[in-house]
Amino acid sequence: MGVLRLCSLLPYPMVVMLGSGVGGLYYALSAKRRRIARTNIALCFPEWSAQERQVCLRRHFHHWGRASLSVGIAWWGSPARLKRLVRFRGREHYDQALAQGRRVMLLAPHFVGLEMAGALLSMERHMVSMYKGPKNALFDWAMRRARARFDLIMIERSTGIRSILRFMQTGRPFYYLPDQDPGEASFEFVPFFGVPTATITAMSRIADMAKAVVIPCFIRQLPAGQGYEISFKPVMEGFPSGDLMHDVTRMNAEIEKGVREMPEQYMWTYKRFKTRPENAQCLYARRKTP
């Protein structure tokens, strides 16, 4: 925690430089996360050569390191500093929906810069989000405290969706990160990069119950220490459709499009394909050497 607090005081180019080093060190030392990320990239980009996958893998860890140290800025940086570091693209889609009085869900996949996006967006307009608490109680406390400084309401995933709906009724956009292993949540197996993937179905149900529009929202880490760019895509017209499987498949397709735009910045170190269809082989099993 002290390191993150220190990084909030450093010039951003220095944070980027240190973060690249941290990411490179993590790549070298964490065989487990390296193996998970390599497996995910191979599953999602089978058309790539081994060299292309390795380049993406190495770049991912560097982006991860930069974003990890930037969390200190997201949590403790001044509003003025956050605004200087983040720019927008396609913001008219978001602004128009809010101006029309629509309830809004932001489909925000797990890119490395998601903490920066959450801070900037909640600073500009109070939001609600859902999360699964980390095992480290101290980190969980610090994270909730930091996110709450801009009145971002955090709802524990196990609580259910009623609290989310209640806050959405007050006009708060819902900042939603659905691309994670479902655990005990309701899910369906639908394709993600052609792989049958256990996918949480809540986005379709929440959008239907809240009468909300869904806007994909991606954050990109810019090169050369330029900061970040939050990109809003057009409203997902006709969503929800009334066909749950169609909606969940469409949601994954939208996330996939975002990943293809910046594959090295997706959270590959996470076991996205952990839950498997019945009798299917575990994709993350450590290979035994003869």
| The token pair that represents 246 in the structure block | 């169609």
| Residue 33 confidence (pLDDT) above 60 | yes
Domain residues for the domain of 97 are 84-265
Q: Is residue 138 part of a domain?
A: yes
| The token pair that represents 82 in the structure block | 């956050």
Q: Is residue 245 part of a domain?
A: yes
Q: Is residue 127 part of a domain?
A: yes
Cβ atoms of residues 134 and 1 within 8 Å:
no
Report how many domains make up the chain: 1
**Largest Cα–Cα distance in the chain?**
63
- The H helix count followed by the E strand count for the chain is 11, 9
Query: Would the pTM count as exceeding 0.85?
Result: yes
Give CA separation, 12 vs 15, 120, 158, in Å. Answer: 5, 16, 36
The whole-angstrom separation of Cα 230 and Cα 234 is 13
| Residue 237 confidence (pLDDT) above 60 | yes
Give the residue among 123, 111, 66, 118 at the shortest CA–CA distance from 219.
111
Give CA separation, 19 vs 63, 68, 110, 225, in Å. Answer: 8, 7, 18, 11
| The token pair that represents 33 in the structure block | 């996360």
Q: Is residue 143 part of a domain?
A: yes
| Residue 274 confidence (pLDDT) above 50 | yes
Q: Which pLDDT band holds residue 141 (cuts at 50, 70, 90)?
A: confident
The whole-angstrom separation of Cα 82 and Cα 117 is 10
Cβ atoms of residues 249 and 240 within 8 Å:
no
pLDDT at 278: 87
**Residue 46, φ and ψ in degrees, nearest 5:** -65, -20
Residues 164-186: pLDDT tens digits?
Answer: 999 999 999 999 999 988 876 78
- Long-range contacts, 53-61 (Cβ 8 Å, 24+): 56/263, 56/264, 57/27, 57/268, 58/27, 59/264, 60/112, 60/264, 60/265, 60/266, 60/268, 60/269, 61/23, 61/24, 61/26, 61/27, 61/34, 61/37
Give CA separation, 134 vs 40, 140, 240, in Å. Answer: 22, 6, 31
**3-class state of residue 227 by DSSP:** coil
Q: Is residue 10 part of a domain?
A: no
Q: Which pLDDT band holds residue 289 (cuts at 50, 70, 90)?
A: very low
| Residue 290 confidence (pLDDT) above 50 | no
Q: Is residue 76 part of a domain?
A: no
**Residue 198, φ and ψ in degrees, nearest 5:** -65, 115
Q: Is residue 289 part of a domain?
A: no
Q: Which pLDDT band holds residue 236 (cuts at 50, 70, 90)?
A: very high
The whole-angstrom separation of Cα 116 and Cα 68 is 10
Residues 45-91: pLDDT tens digits?
Answer: 999 999 999 999 999 999 999 999 999 999 999 999 999 999 999 99
Q: Is residue 111 part of a domain?
A: yes
